[in-house]
């Protein structure tokens, strides 16, 4: 680590292969306008940590097997503490050779693993942000969800004065701010607005300790599922990305259901697909990424998830 004029740099190692372009494509396709951006081969966002704020920028090292994370501003003094959440977000602890070898035992997945051996499960800087995105994204396209999320930031977020990067000059709304703001004409059905604000209220009051690292995922799953408007798809998607559950499986995801049915037309519904998808345990989250990625590669766009 080096620090100079409130800039700190970390080199965070990974086990190769590592598919950085697809990880960036995934984050770029879902970047919250004003809060995070993918540009010039890097992921960037404003962050707050232990009362200090600044900008995080993550890029691939041109030669070494590591990512380079740079922190600008007062937040840079917490660089050592930030290493773990950044590694979690970019799935740096995964062992792709082990995961790939186990998934490739399935003839459906073998060609996908061979084509993209370093595929990672993209994480999230904030579990709260991810659930907000998942609720907003119910039954709408990735692009439409991104537009609405941008409006939420403008209404309930906080603009950072004098921030050096215009594309990341906003703080994502806090749970309390999102719970209280008027979301009329935001572009979502009333029921989904109620679900979103009910969830934000539950996090703000501590009923759902979403970004508490000591909470176990089973109790978090149950707490989320108990909220109106949050179903199994949202919970499993969040488990994949925010809680790093390598075996999470969003069974009711339309793209996943269609991908499996295309391979075996007798398997139409998740209940029928379960015997097959259970053979991918304990790496079902990576199987989901491979199936989503196949569709995204074919479409040349940010589909899936």
Q: Residue count of the chain, please give it.
A: 305
Task: Using the structure block, give the residue that is written with the tokens 């609405």.
Answer: 148
Out of 25-39, 46-60, 288-302, pick the least confident: 288-302
Identify the H or E element spanning 70: strand 66-72
Please give the Cα distance from 104 to 147 (Å, whole number).
37
DSSP 53: E
Q: What is the pLDDT of residue 117?
A: 97
Q: What is the CA radius of gyration of the chain?
A: 19
Q: What is the pLDDT of residue 1?
A: 54
Q: What is the pLDDT of residue 226?
A: 96
Helices marked H in 108-161: 110-115, 127-136, 142-156
Residue 190 has pLDDT above 80, yes or no: yes
- Mean local confidence (pLDDT), 219-244: 94
Q: What is the pLDDT of residue 3?
A: 46
- Mean local confidence (pLDDT), 58-74: 97
Residue 252 has pLDDT above 70, yes or no: yes
Cα 69 from chain centroid?
18
What DSSP line would sit under 244-298, residue for residue? --TT---TT-HHHHHHHHHH-TT--SHHHHHHHHGGGTT-HHHHHHHHHHHHHHH
Burial class for 232, CB neighbours closer than 10 Å (0-12, 13-18, 19+): middle
Residue 84 has pLDDT above 50, yes or no: yes
Is 127-241 a CATH 3.40.190.10 domain? no
- Mean local confidence (pLDDT), 155-182: 95
Q: Both tokens of residue 165?
A: 């990067």
HSE, CB side, 13 Å, CA atoms: give it for residue 145: 22
- Among 129, 128, 125, 146, CA closest to 137: 146
Q: Both tokens of residue 9?
A: 């740099």
Burial class for 100, CB neighbours closer than 10 Å (0-12, 13-18, 19+): buried
Residue 302 has pLDDT above 60, yes or no: no
Task: Using the structure block, give the residue that is written with the tokens 């997945």.
Answer: 109
- Among 60, 167, 95, CA closest to 69: 60
Please give the Cα distance from 100 to 115 (Å, whole number).
11
Q: What is the pLDDT of residue 301?
A: 54
CATH architecture of 2-93: 2-Layer Sandwich (3.30)
Q: Where in the chain is the domain with CATH 3.30.310.20?
A: 2-93
Q: Where in the chain is the domain with CATH 1.10.340.30?
A: 127-241
Residue 61 has pLDDT above 50, yes or no: yes
Task: Using the structure block, give the residue that is written with the tokens 């707490």.
Answer: 223
Please answer whether residues 116 and 19 qualify as being in contact, where contact means their C-beta atoms are separated by less than 8 angstroms: yes
- Mean local confidence (pLDDT), 223-236: 94
Please answer whether residues 33 and 127 qualify as being in contact, where contact means their C-beta atoms are separated by less than 8 angstroms: no
Per-residue model confidence as pLDDT tens digits over 86-107: 999 999 999 999 999 999 999 9
What are the residues facing 57 on neighbouring strands?
44, 70
Identify the H or E element spanning 219: helix 217-225
- The CATH class of the 95-116+246-305 domain is mainly alpha
Q: What is the pLDDT of residue 164?
A: 85
Residue 30 has pLDDT above 60, yes or no: yes
- Mean local confidence (pLDDT), 277-294: 98
Per-residue model confidence as pLDDT tens digits over 121-167: 999 999 999 999 999 998 888 899 999 999 999 999 999 998 888 89
- Mean local confidence (pLDDT), 240-245: 94
């Amino acid at each position: 680590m080096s620090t100079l004029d409130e800039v700190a740099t970390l080199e965070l190692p990974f086990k190769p292969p590592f598919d950085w372009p697809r990880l960036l494509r995934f984050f770029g396709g879902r970047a919250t306008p004003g809060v995070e951006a993918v540009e010039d081969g890097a992921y960037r966002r404003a962050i707050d940590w232990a009362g200090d704020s600044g900008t995080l920028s993550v890029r691939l090292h041109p030669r070494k097997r590591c990512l380079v994370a740079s922190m600008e501003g007062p937040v840079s003094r917490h660089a050592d503490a930030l290493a773990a959440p950044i590694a979690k977000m970019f799935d740096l602890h995964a062992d792709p050779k082990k995961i790939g070898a186990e998934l490739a035992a399935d003839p459906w997945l073998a060609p996908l693993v061979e084509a993209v051996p370093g595929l990672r499960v993209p994480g999230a800087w904030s579990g709260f942000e991810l659930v907000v995105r998942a609720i907003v994204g119910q039954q709408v396209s990735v692009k439409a969800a991104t537009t609405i999320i941008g409006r939420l930031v403008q209404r309930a977020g906080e603009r950072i004065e004098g921030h050096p990067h215009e594309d990341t000059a906003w703080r994502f709304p806090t749970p309390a701010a999102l719970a209280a703001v008027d979301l009329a004409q935001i572009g979502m059905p009333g029921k989904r607005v109620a679900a979103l604000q009910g969830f934000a209220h539950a996090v703000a009051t501590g009923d759902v300790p979403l970004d508490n690292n000591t909470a176990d995922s089973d109790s978090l799953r149950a707490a989320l599922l108990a909220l109106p408007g949050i179903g199994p798809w949202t919970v499993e998607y969040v488990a994949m990305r925010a809680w790093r559950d390598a075996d999470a499986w969003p069974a009711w995801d339309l793209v996943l259901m269609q991908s499996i049915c295309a391979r075996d037309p007798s398997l139409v519904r998740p209940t029928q697909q379960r015997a097959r998808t259970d053979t991918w345990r304990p790496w079902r989250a990576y199987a989901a990424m491979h199936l989503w990625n196949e569709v995204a590669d074919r479409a040349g766009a940010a589909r899936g998830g």
